[in-house]
Chain A
Amino acid sequence: MILFILFSTITVKAFDTPNDGGGSITIKAYNVPETVKKALVYRKTEGDTTYTFAGVMSILSYRYVDANSTIKNGKPYYYRVDFYFPDTVISVESDSPGIAYAQWYDKTKTSSLIFLIVFSTLVLVFIQLAKKDPEGLYIRKIPALDAIDEAVGRSTELGKPTFFVHGLLGITDAGTLAALTILRRVAKKVAEYDTPILVTNFDPIVMTASQETVKQAYTEAGRPDAYNEKNIIYLTYEQFGYTAGVDGLMVREKPGAIFLQGYFFAESLILAETGHSVGAIQIAGTTAKEQLPFFVAACDYVLIGEEMLAASSYIGREPVMLGSVKGADWGKAFLMGVIGIGVVLGTVGAILQSAGNGALMNVFEKILAFF
């Protein structure tokens, strides 16, 4: 009689595993008594007379994902699960076969998609608004940027060259792109003051882009003749070889201003301390948050994280660039709103739940699940 009740309550369902590229079926068991010790899953398909062993079902989630390489999309598979109890074994077959399909959309990523659409729209809208009304845009002052002119100027007074040291990441890094914009401003100042500049590179593509950037800056400053490709040099494709090379150049050329811009790793402080020891004004900028403390300690000015990305938009003062900064700010506001609502709901929900009302907690869980 007990056996009969157990037998009749357990059900097994086999269905296509959602949100995947096919080739996988999920088997789930319901109403399994807690006394179960283990559960083994067996599979058969059309033409098979007997079940073959597929795998071990978790007795915590009562789920098994069968992603065996023999499973073909669109073909029915039948499953049997053997539940092992202390005194007996019960076999339950799935009520209908499972068929695997490939999906065209992954529903678990909906939150990313929504945020992507919201954020892209914000950026685009503000770029459009900025084009219409370029004067209406405010961007707060970034002290390290104003220091660029000062640094190059002082370097000129001392009759010393200016160094621009790129970080280690390639051209696809947002910080590297920002560094190129900053380089353009620096190179333009250098061309106007007619002082030497040296740009060191770690990445070949960045080097090519730097050459173009400096060339253009010299042209903008009306000094295309003064541009020399040999001042934008490639040192080596090794992190500390690069560091050794830049350090050597610093102590020998004794620059008056040093710009350390881009994504740096541990070499940040080796470069910044050596730069300090030769008495240069140093302006650093990086999105590598773990290196920021060292730049803050050893440099005169630092562009911190997103400041660097915003700075490049600030320099250009092109409406489209500034618009995107504003768009990103609204993205922050949206995110802070979501976090804030989550926190309020979570806190109130936690209090209410301890008072016996779980409804709000459910809403909160849904918001959490969104992420």
Chain B
Amino acid sequence: MHISTNPWVWIAAILTLAIYSFLYKDNPFYKFAEHLFMGLGIGYGAVILWYNSIIPRLWNPLAHGTSPSRFYLLIPVALGLLALSIFSRRYSWLIKYPLAFYMGAVTGFSVPVSFEAYIFEQAQGTILKHSMFSNPWLGISNIIMFIGVITTITYFYFSKHHKGLLGKSARVGIVYIMLAFGASFGYTVMARISLLIGRMQFLLHDWLGIIK
């Protein structure tokens, strides 16, 4: 057994135990760790924002750049400043400008990308290809998948009563959905235990030195 002599390791271990104490019940140790964590999060965000956005994207090009086009950067700055109008009662509506600009641009470029990733690739993968019948078992599997995709989509059909064929199909769809949820749940268990193992290795190895 080699207990760590590094004060930082002790701090980490104490904070770890403070969070775990929440499993028993809420207590001042947890509350301490929780609030420290939230504070660190805010501070961390600010530091990162400064070094990674403000300095390289804004300050460096404006202060040290030479290209005349750098002054265009003042347009988004102006838009960003408009957002601060929210603190004034009279001009708070000005925030709608940067919001609208931001929302419009981001949703605009996400539309075609969503088509490709969410719809085209998934639809294409579902259409049965010649190679998917290379053996009977593969063929059956792919047909099972095809039925699953179609029935799941029908479950998300909102503008018709789920009766008759649509009702039956949606019912099959929910069976597939539950099966998938079960699979995801079972698959996830592993990841979560990995995390616990990671923390236990820290406590037992790095801190207490019980295991090698």
Indicate whether A and B are direct neighbours in the complex (CB within 8 Å). Answer: yes
Of B1-9, B33-41, B62-70, B204-212, which binds chain A?
B33-41
Neighbour of B159 across the interface among A139, A296, A338, CB < 8 A: A139
Interface status of A132 (Cβ within 8 A of chain B): no
Query: Is A70 among interface residues, defined by CB-CB distance under 8 A?
Result: no
Are A140 and B161 touching (Cβ within 8 A)?
A: yes
* Chain B residue at minimal CB-CB distance from A115: B115
Asked whether any CB of chain B lies closer than 8 Å to the CB of A252, the reply is yes
Cβ–Cβ < 8 Å partners of A245 in chain B: 34, 37-38
**B34: min CB distance to chain A, Å:** 4
The secondary-structure label for the interface of chain B is helix
Choice from B37, B95, B126 contacting A208 with Cβ under 8 Å: B95
* Cross-chain contact A346 with B128 (CB below 8 angstroms): yes
**For A236, what are the chain B residues with a Cβ–Cβ distance below 8 Å?**
37-39, 41-42, 45
Report how many residues on chain B are interfacial, defined by Cβ distance under 8 Å: 57
- A124-140: which have CB < 8 Å to B? 137-140
Interface centre among B133, B150, B156, B185 (most CB of A within 10 A): B156
Q: B111 contacts the other chain (Cβ, under 8 Å)? A: yes
- Nearest Cβ distance between residue B86 and chain A, in whole angstroms? 6
Q: By the criterion CB–CB under 8 Å, are A339 and B149 in contact?
A: yes
CB proximity to A under 8 Å, residues B39-65: 39-42, 44-45
Write the residues of chain B forming the contact surface with A, with a CB cutoff of 8 angstroms.
19, 22, 25-26, 30-31, 33-34, 37-42, 44-45, 86, 95, 99, 102-103, 106-107, 110-112, 115-116, 119-121, 123-124, 126-130, 133, 146, 149-150, 153-154, 156-162, 177, 181-182, 184-185, 188
Q: Which A residues contact B (CB, under 8 angstroms)?
A: 109, 111-112, 115-116, 137-140, 171-172, 205, 208, 235-238, 240-242, 244-245, 247-248, 251-252, 290, 292-294, 296-297, 304-307, 310, 325-326, 329, 332, 335-336, 338-340, 342-343, 346-347, 349-350, 353, 361, 367-368, 371
The 4 closest A-B pairs by CB, nearest first: A238-B41, A236-B41, A342-B127, A241-B41
